[in-house]
Amino acid sequence: MNGINRSLVSIVIVILALFNSCTNKKLDDKMQPIAKHVILIGSDGFGAYAFEKAKIPNLRMMMDAGAYSLKARSVLPSSSAVNWASMIMGSGPELHGYTEWGSKTPELPSREIGGGNIYPTIFSLIDEQIQGAKKRISYTWEGIGYLFEKNIVDLDFNGESDEATAEKAMEFILKEKPILTFIHFSQPDGAGHNIGHDTPEYYEAVEGIDSLIGQILASLKANGMMDDTIILFSSDHGGIEKGHGGKTLLEVEIPWIIYGKNIPVKGNLDTSIVTYDTAPTIAYLLGLKIPEFWRGKPILKIFENDRL
């Protein structure tokens, strides 16, 4: 090898070393937590189309002061258990195995099994990577109770109403300050099934959820927790007439809103989001390592030009 070639090789090695150093620094930066507390709020049957007609000032405030998409999508079928599982398990039904509206156990054997004897959720990541971190779930639809590791959460509460679910969640949040809280509301799904989607009663239920979110925000602010908290709001599916589960956009498109002091004001996110991206995004916010077997990815568009 002549002198010129040796010099070129040396230059390439130096450039590669610098590139790897910068890349590693970026990865290290990503592992720094962005918030001390994350609250995931899920509203059953809250289709993205509801934003066209409903009076929802609290959700709109979160959209204006944070980042959102009204074109996020559920997995198929556009039904409850399969999508709530996907939301907190970071993968679709092909891997976690919950495939139906009311799945209590996987119909398809889970590709991975974690400490709770189910496909690992965001709660298991916290349990493994942050020693002593508190985590809780408060839910109205009893079907949620089959989709997480009961042996590792600090509070497993099944409320009789959305109001009771919210009240218990906030009681625990203010007292114990958990790193992650998942609050599940059963409306407006109930109104959609009983009366119909895109009806006055459906929008009344939607507005009731917005009111509960307003109460949560006010309580966090009054107790000095908003500076350290990020809220992520989404849904499992939308609906059409008195049902869901199909392949129409009215059933598949869901809202995805993220808000908090450390969330840049991005407004509408021009990027594809699937419900299984929610858990990896929460993991990113908390500085957790995301497992290779999860298929979702964190929505980094939120932090583009701000953090990356």
Residue 53 above 60 pLDDT?
Answer: yes
Mean of the pLDDT values across residues 53-65? 98
> What pLDDT, on the 0 to 100 scale, is given for residue 308?
44
Question: What is the Cα 260 distance to its own chain's centre?
Answer: 14
Q: How many CA atoms lie within 13 A of 7 on its CB side?
A: 3
H-run or E-run covering 230: strand 229-234
Structure confidence by residue, pLDDT tens digits, 98-146: 999 999 999 999 999 998 899 999 999 999 999 999 999 999 999 999 9
Tell me if residue 166 falls in helix, strand or coil: helix
Q: What is the pTM of this model?
A: 0.89
Structure confidence by residue, pLDDT tens digits, 137-182: 999 999 999 999 999 999 999 999 999 999 999 999 999 999 999 9
Please answer whether residues 76 and 247 qualify as being in contact, where contact means their C-beta atoms are separated by less than 8 angstroms.
yes
Cα distance between residue 113 and residue 145, in whole Å: 17
Structure-model confidence comparison of residues 5 and 255, the more confident one: 255
Please answer whether residues 275 and 87 qualify as being in contact, where contact means their C-beta atoms are separated by less than 8 angstroms.
yes
Question: What is the Cα 244 distance to its own chain's centre?
Answer: 21
Beta-sheet pairing, 229-234 with 253-260: antiparallel
> What pLDDT, on the 0 to 100 scale, is given for residue 14?
43
pLDDT band at 17 (very low <50, low <70, confident <90, very high): very low
Number of Cβ within 10 Å of residue 30's Cβ equals 17
Torsion over CA: 176, 181, 185, 186 (sign): negative
- Provide the token pair at 140: 């109205």
> What pLDDT, on the 0 to 100 scale, is given for residue 115?
85
Structure-model confidence comparison of residues 308 and 171, the more confident one: 171
- Provide the token pair at 224: 């000095």
Instruction: Name residues whose C-beta falls within 8 Å of residue 133's C-beta, 6 or more positions apart in sequence.
Output: 126, 127, 178, 179, 180
pLDDT band at 284 (very low <50, low <70, confident <90, very high): very high
